[in-house]
Amino acid sequence: MEGNVLPDDKFKIVLDMADKLKVFLLARKGIAFRFVYTILYAVIFMILRFVVELSALAQFAILFATTKPNEPLRKFSNKMNTYTYRVMRYMTLTENTRPYPFSDLPAEMEPPEEEIRF
């Protein structure tokens, strides 16, 4: 019967190990959630990359047809560039604010240049 009961020292060691394990797991919980969000943003990044490439091709098609860039498409592309930049900063652990859809869309970092040269 006495073999089933732990002496006080062994019991304290087990409790101490359990506390350390709890602290270890709680510390990694935030890392695990950040990793899951990063995977989500990696998928969003791939979609954004495709949208930016598509808008660049559309802009050149319009440019060849009209010899002028499409201003609404330039503004849209600039916003997508800013958003893509914010997503990359979050994914690479250089920014803590989760990008859209968990926060507002970022404001443009820089306006598009007025004159386009070829």
* Contact (Cβ atoms closer than 8 angstroms) between residue 24 and residue 59: no
The Cα–Cα gap between 95 and 2 comes to 56
Domain assignment of residue 56, yes or no: yes
pLDDT given for residue 5 in this prediction: 54
pLDDT given for residue 71 in this prediction: 92
Which segments of the chain have a pLDDT < 70? 1-7
* Contact (Cβ atoms closer than 8 angstroms) between residue 62 and residue 70: yes
Domain assignment of residue 105, yes or no: no
The Cα–Cα gap between 11 and 111 comes to 65
Per the structure, the complete domain to which residue 60 belongs is given by: 31-91
pLDDT given for residue 1 in this prediction: 46
**Most distant CA atoms of the chain, gap in Å:** 93
Domain assignment of residue 24, yes or no: no
Phi–psi pair at 93, nearest 5 degrees: 60, 30
Query: How many distinct structural domains can be found in the chain?
Result: 1
pLDDT given for residue 14 in this prediction: 79
pTM across the whole model:
0.72
Domain assignment of residue 47, yes or no: yes
